[in-house]
Amino acid sequence: MKNIQCKNYNIYINDWSNFKSFVTEMDPTTIFILVDQNTEKYCLLHLLENLDATVQVIRIPAGEQNKNIQTCQHIWTKLLQYGADRHSLLINLGGGVIGDMGGFCAATYMRGIRFIQMPTTLLSQVDASVGGKLGVDLMGFKNMVGLIQDPNAVFIFTEFLSTLPQDQMKSGYAELLKHGLIADKESWSLLSKQDKLDTLDYEILVYESVMIKKTVTEQDPYEKGLRKILNFGHTIGHAVESYWMDSKTPLLHGEAIAIGMVSEAFLSYRIGKISESDLFEIRHSILRLYGHHPKFVKPTEDLIHLMKGDKKNFKGDIRFALLDQVGHACYDIQVESETIEESFLFYKERI
């Protein structure tokens, strides 16, 4: 068991005994567990076996398309109907959608009740559950309404990863690759060469990746500077993910971020930050793992329009977090629309 101490809360990895005692010591008036149909089926029973208390379960439909104010209203209404007060506890059992939205609802219900993040996907374990970012989507723009509020604790159990299909594991693996590219060259070198993702030791990988994000977010909790490097691959990736979200062929978050990382690696090269050999090595490694999907980087005008709504922008300029070398990143880099279009063309080139 590897536990990580943060400034305002702790992250516990594979530590059920601490979970039970932690909740007991909190002594909440009522305990609520937020689930979707997947975590209710595959994870809820295991949580209840390790929690000696009466709970109320709040159910929401799975999927990014449900990460909106309407679903929040349903959660707030259930909390009110079941008698939640300021001494209640909400446990968010699920992936990034559950964690982002459940945390947002907890932080705003009665101006704030206590909550625990229990991420069940690889993506949420290494990304969404750490750093206190909470929120929902609005009018096709990702995470447009929200706040930064630390949970009371994060409990990560890598055993939940065995319930995930391969595409969900690959989606989360994209964030491991991103953390390596922006902060740990050795990690990138190791992870980018893997073929069988189901044979890896995720207790170690999750711990190392969480440590990277923890180190960055504690230096800049409100994303005024350094924390922006965590957005590498996300400016283009979020635009691609948002555009195709309601189509017949939506992308998982990590699949979209893979496209974003290749395209933004090109931008890093284009402004003279990384070498051509680094660029093609990044492209080759990511396309080998995620495939080549040129149809998703169009229509150009619509994708750039979505990027113009990105929260990192300033005075209408599109700002990126880019690599200045493999294993290190920079932020607030202004890039013109024409250069972004070049990055799309680079991604679309045949291997």
CATH topology of domain 166-348: Dehydroquinate synthase-like, alpha domain (1.20.1090)
Q: What pLDDT is recorded for position 105?
A: 98
User: Average pLDDT of 207-215?
Assistant: 95
Nearest partner of 24 among 58, 56, 50, judged by Cα: 50
Residues belonging to the active site: 111, 133, 175, 213, 223, 227, 231, 234, 238, 253
CATH number at 2-163: 3.40.50.1970
**Residue in this structure with the two tokens 């690696």, named with its chain if needed:** 265
For 23-37, the pLDDT digits (tens) are 999 999 999 999 999
Whether the bond into 299 is cis, omega within 30 of 0? yes
Give CA–CA dist 277/292, Å, rounded.
19
- Tell me the per-residue pLDDT of 331-345, one tens digit each, with 9 for 90 and over: 999 999 999 999 999
Alpha carbon 141 to chain centroid, angstroms: 15
Q: Is the dihedral of CA 278, 280, 282, 285 positive or negative?
A: negative
- Where are the domains positioned within the chain? 2-163, 166-348
Q: Looking at residue 1, what is its pLDDT?
A: 61
